Each structure stands twice: as structure tokens, then as C-alpha cells.
Structure 1
Amino acid sequence: MARTIPDWPTRRVAVASLLVGGLHAVLLLAVALHLGYPVGPSAYSPLGLLWRYGGLVVVAALPVWLAGRFRLLVPVLALALTTGYVLGMELLAPGPTFRDVAELEGLRDPTGTLVVENGLYVVRYMVNASVWTLGFLFAGLLEATCRTRWRRLPTPPNTPRWLSPPVARRPAAGVAAVGGFLHAAVMVWFALRLGLNATWGPPGTLYAVSAVGMVALAAVPIYVLLRRHLVAPMALLTAFVLLDARAEFTASVDDPHALYFGAWFGPLALVLAVGACESLLRRCWDVVRRRRSA
């Protein structure tokens, strides 16, 4: 029988999560200001300030809350690795270098437009905090589902009914739909922020078609995770989201999000193929176990 873990007070967990999130935001903003990045309150509108500063709070508060409420460790570990990577790249050699565009283009007179090399990690982390938060949330769902089904792992406390096996078809479809629309909302915003455009079709066609694809790309792995306990599709989706956000640290003209968002049918086909392979391997393993026990 799976082991259980004692519960912690809900209010204390929420307060501690917000406190850690606030400290996380203060630390990163202090580093950014020390390096000369224009991230002070006067650089943004009130709404922009709330979005950026609040994003740094939420991206840390969510994993901490998942750890305190459900004892999930993977989101906290992912947060620690991501924040550590950002701070390491900013503070360790070679550090950020500010160069004028004239130097890069071979012009005689300076243009006054600066390009930052080996830097802006905190700024990009702050702007794309919603994408990182989505990735941490998917990682938590994957861990929670695995721990409710694998007897060798301790069962998380306060497990929702829709996560306790066996999960009925309607609750699984509902959770999958919520996850799919959440994934689509974040990825559409991400594409809009990056200014992705298509050279084909009427205006808005790319976003309309890709939004549907983003829903399917997340809903399918979540549904088969809850109903069939297929881990590989959800693990692959989580990796897609985190790697998509990670690529923005070294953003270039060939943006990876354009491929993920515009050619969503490729990742979806890969998710389906991985799920089919895992299902086939499990059936083969069940046949082997039955023959051994016979």
C-alpha cells in the first residue's frame, strides 16, 4: 500500500509561498538593477509593472505552494535549476556586455542603440514568467499522477478526487480541457509578444488555427495521463514548454516558438507516437507478467 505524508495548514502554506515568491522577485530584480538593466518601477506602466513583477512572484510561489500543499518536489527542483541558471549566467563570467550597434555593423559614428551580449537573462525570465509557470504546473501534475499510482512512492496529501485512480472519463476530459485552454492562452500570448506573423491566409488565420492546435497539444497528453496513465506524452509536453521558454534566453531571428506554435501538428504527432509506443510496451509487459505468473 502506498505511504501517506502528513498535511500542513493551508493558510501557512499560502503565506509561505507568497513570501518565497516575493523574495525570489526581490533577488532577481536586485541583480538586474545592479547590472544596469532598466527594470525599475519607472520603466513600466502600472499594468506592465504588475505583470512583470507579479510574474516573478507567481513563478516561484506556485512550485512552493505545490510542495507545501501536495509535497510535490519536481516543480521546486525545476524552479531552483532555472533560477540558479539565470543568476549564474548573469553573475559569472563573461557577464553582460553592452555594445553599440555601430560596432557590430562597422559604422564610424555610434548610433546610441545598445545590444546586450551574454545578458538580459533576468529580463527574459521576468517577461516570460507565465510560460515557465505553465511548465512547472505541468511538471507538478505529472509527478502527482505518478505518485498516486506507483505504490513505491509516497502518496501526496490532499489529492483531488479527479486525480485519485481510477479517474472517470468526464473528470479526465474536464481537466484536459482546462489544461488545453490554459496552454493555448499562454502560447498565443507568447506568440503575440514575439510578433509572429504568417505569410499565408487572411490576418489572424495563424493564431486561430494554432490556438486550436495548442488546445489539442496539451489536452491529449493530460487526458491519456489521467485515464490511461501514459506518462511519456505528458513528460514530452512538459519538456516542450520548458525548452520553448528556455530558448528565449538566447533568442535569435529563427525563434523556436515559431516552429512550436506554427507547426504544432509536428509536436502533436510526436506526442501521439510516443503515447502509442508506451501503450504497446505496457501491453507487452503485461503479457510477459501473465506468462510468468501462469
Structure 2
Amino acid sequence: MPSRRPLVISLVVGVVHAAGLLAVALHLGYAVGPTEYSLLGAGWRYGGLVVVATLPVWLALRYRLAAPLVVLVVTTGYVLGMELTPPGPTFRDVAELERLAEPTGITVVEDGLYIVRYMVNASVWTVGFLFLGLVEYVVRSTWHVLPAVGRTVPELPIPASRRRAAAVATTGGVLHAAAMVWFAARLGVTVSGGWEWALYLFGAAGMWVLAAVPLYLLVRHRLVAPATLLTLFVLLDARAEFTASVEGPHALYFGGWFLYLGILLVAGGVEYSLRRVEIYRRFESRL
């Protein structure tokens, strides 16, 4: 397949993905038309829906990586299913909920907004899909019982050199930190006492470390468990926003990142220990 063809096909699928979700959202009565946003806002939202589908499709066509595409299909199917099956979205004026005499003009949507939340959080989903693709790439490059990837990345041999692994970890950490800082700001994560700047500085540094460490262990030492758990944390964090609960996990993920880092390090230590016992070596030799 020519080098440009996978990208073109992926972009077409991404545009169709975005157009389909937006068409359903408009049909349901959501205010997601171009006139509702600034040029930058529309580009961020619509472009996010394109990119979040383009990346998994491109990874599937270019490298035969299946996991990101499967999760994309499941996620998009879940979003459409929740929107189009009963009870479906219900639009109610705040006056009805508060039992006020006069309508307020402020509308609350119940049992809906899945497409809207998927759209505005597309950057977080994209980071999760990217990490998932990297995990699958390393696993299928290491465990010979699994089908090999469609093609290898010349710049990323597995195991990677220290310099290359550091570059991957740094880049992944920056992407993770940028997405999660934006996510925290959008959700209004804050702290009392006027120390928000310290919270976001602490959180940004932590988000970088939280991604950089497991990604380095993945591509340098082929430790799969930490990066797999990191990817799971990212995807579950994004999924939790569909319900918009006050008990959403992102505040803990952002402010208490060191707890998650501890879990990742423990998982990596367990995997490393298993590698050193004879049972694991025999199992690995069969892979």
C-alpha cells in the first residue's frame, strides 16, 4: 500500500466519523453547529472528532495494530448507543427542576450529551489510543506467538537505545501532560486557598512523570504492565466524564498522581521479578 494511501483513507474515515456524530448531535437538538463556536473553538471540537478516529485507523492500516481501532469502535458505538436508545436525552428548564414559577431559559440535558463530551474530550481519547498502539507494538514485536506488526518503525527498534527510549518517554510525557492539564482546567479542578497555580504546576510535572516513566520502561526494558495500566487509567479517566459525576476521578488522577505512579512501579516490579524466575522464562521462550 503506497505510503500516502493509509493516511488519506484514515483522514476520510476521520471526517466521516466526525460528520456522522455531529449529524446525530444536531438531530438530537444539541447546539453544536458552526455558529455556536468561534473559529478556533469549532476547529478544536470538529478537528478532535476527526483526529480521534484518524489515528487508530492509520495505525491499523500502516502497522496492523488492532487494539486502538477496536477501542475506538467500542467507544463510538457506546456513545451512539447511549444517545439513540431509550431513555435518550431529555431537555428540561431549570425552572421545572427548581419548581420556579417562570422559565429561566437555562436548559439542562438529562441522559444525554455523550457526543458533546466525546467531542470536547477527544484529545484525551487520542492520547489513550496512541499509548495503546505503542503497547501493542512492543508486545507484538516481543512475543512471537502473536502476529508480527505490519511493518516496523526503523527509528524505534525494540528494545530501544537509552537515547531513543528517553525521546519516546519525553514526547509521550509532554502529550500526556498537555492533555491532562487542559482536561483539569476544563473540568474546573481547583484547590482552596488561592494556590491553583501551585496545583497546576505540581499536576503538570506529575502528568509528565506519570507517562514518561512507564513509556521508558516499555520501549527500553519491554516492561508491559506499567504502560498498559497507564493507558487504562487514561481511557477510564476519559470515559468517566461521560456521566459528568461530581465524583469523577480526574481530580484525584491530576492531584494525586504519585499514587498512580506507585501502582505503576509496583506493577513493573512484579513483572520484572517474574521475568527472573524459571517459570516465566519458559513461558517467554514459547512466546
Kept in 2: contact 1:70–1:156 (CA 8 A): yes
Q: Does 1:266 align with 2:269?
A: no
Structure 1 letter corresponding to 2:132: A
User: 5 Å matches for 1:78-97?
Assistant: 78-97=71-90
Shift of 1:194: 1.4
Structure 1 letter corresponding to 2:156: L
Match in the other structure for 1:128 = 121
Match in the other structure for 1:4 = none
SS of match in other structure, 1:174: helix
Equivalents in 2 of 1:237, 1:262: separation in Å?
A: 16
Structure 2: tracts of 5 or more residues without a match? none
* Gap change, CA 1:50 and 1:279, over 3 Å in 2: same
- Sequence identity (%): 63
Match in the other structure for 1:103 = 96
Structure 1: tracts of 5 or more residues without a match? 1-7
| Aligned counterpart for 2:235 among listed residues 214, 234, 242 | 242
Kept in 1: contact 2:159–2:222 (CA 8 A): no
User: 5 Å matches for 1:84-233?
Assistant: 84-200=77-193, 202-233=195-226
Equivalents in 2 of 1:163, 1:275: separation in Å?
A: 21
Q: Does 1:43 align with 2:36?
A: yes
| Aligned counterpart for 1:73 among listed residues 56, 66, 79 | 66
Which 4+ stretches in 1 moved above 4 angstroms? 286-290
Equivalents in 2 of 1:53, 1:165: separation in Å?
A: 35
SS of match in other structure, 1:167: coil
Match in the other structure for 1:23 = 16
TM-score between both structures, scaled by the size of structure 2: 0.94
SS of match in other structure, 1:163: coil
Structure 2 letter corresponding to 1:260: Y
Equivalents in 1 of 2:250, 2:104: separation in Å?
A: 30
Shift of 1:37: 0.2
Shift of 1:162: 4.3
Shift of 1:287: 7.5
Shift of 1:132: 0.5
Number of matched pairs: 283
Shift of 1:200: 4.6
Residues 70-113 of structure 1, C-alpha deviations (whole Å, 9 max, x = no match):
11000100100000000000001110011222222233332221
* Gap change, CA 1:200 and 1:267, over 3 Å in 2: farther
SS of match in other structure, 1:249: coil
Kept in 2: contact 1:232–1:275 (CA 8 A): yes
Shift of 1:9: 1.4
SS of match in other structure, 1:148: helix
Equivalents in 1 of 2:57, 2:147: separation in Å?
A: 18
* Gap change, CA 1:286 and 1:48, over 3 Å in 2: same
Equivalents in 2 of 1:253, 1:288: separation in Å?
A: 46
Residues 147-171 of structure 1, C-alpha deviations (whole Å, 9 max, x = no match):
1111112222332234323321111
Kept in 2: contact 1:162–1:172 (CA 8 A): no
TM-score between both structures, scaled by the size of structure 1: 0.92
